[in-house]
């Protein structure tokens, strides 16, 4: 009796392999011939002048707190006196560059107001805010 149950269970499990062994219907083979197996490359070029599908912004009215006049970064803290480094840097990185600058905004001036005023200056581009 025990062998019959074992053979029955084994037979049921083997039925799950029947379609892969070719015992299934031929309807699937006819449909697969029409499929395109080639790869198509699609490039998506973002439009830097538009923001889409972000939904309506949530705007809150309120006051900005007075901030310290510092910029806390991963390499250190920028103050009115300069950079106070947290990590040791290669001398090549620590050389002054005329094409980069950091601007510290007075703590009593709103960040958005400062950004719009800086953006209006000819030849200046804001890459990020800290």
Can you tell me the mean pLDDT for 46-55? 64
Question: Following DSSP, what letter does each residue of the chain receive, concatenated?
Answer: -HHHHHHHHHHHHHHTTTGGGT-S-THHHHHHTTS------------TT---S--PPP-----PPPPPS-EE-SSEEEETTEEEESS---TTTTS--TT----PPPTTS-HHHHHHHHHTSTT-------
So what's the pLDDT on residue 22? Answer: 59
pLDDT digits (tens, 9 = 90+) for 21-33: 655 555 555 555 6
pTM over 0.75, yes/no: no
pLDDT digits (tens, 9 = 90+) for 69-107: 888 888 889 898 988 988 888 888 778 888 888 888 888
């Amino acid at each position: 009796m025990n062998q019959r149950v074992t053979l029955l269970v084994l037979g049921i499990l083997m039925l799950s392999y029947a379609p892969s062994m070719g015992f299934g219907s031929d309807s699937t083979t006819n449909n697969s011939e029409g499929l395109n197996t080639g790869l198509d490359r699609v490039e998506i070029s973002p439009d830097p002048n538009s923001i889409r599908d972000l939904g309506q912004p949530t705007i809150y009215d309120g006051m900005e707190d007075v901030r310290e006049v510092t910029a806390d970064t991963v390499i250190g803290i920028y103050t009115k006196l300069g950079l106070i480094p947290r990590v040791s840097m290669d001398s090549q990185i620590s050389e002054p560059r005329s094409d980069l600058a950091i601007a510290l905004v007075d703590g009593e001036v709103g960040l958005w107001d400062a950004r719009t005023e800086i953006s209006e200056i000819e030849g200046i581009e804001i890459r990020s805010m800290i």
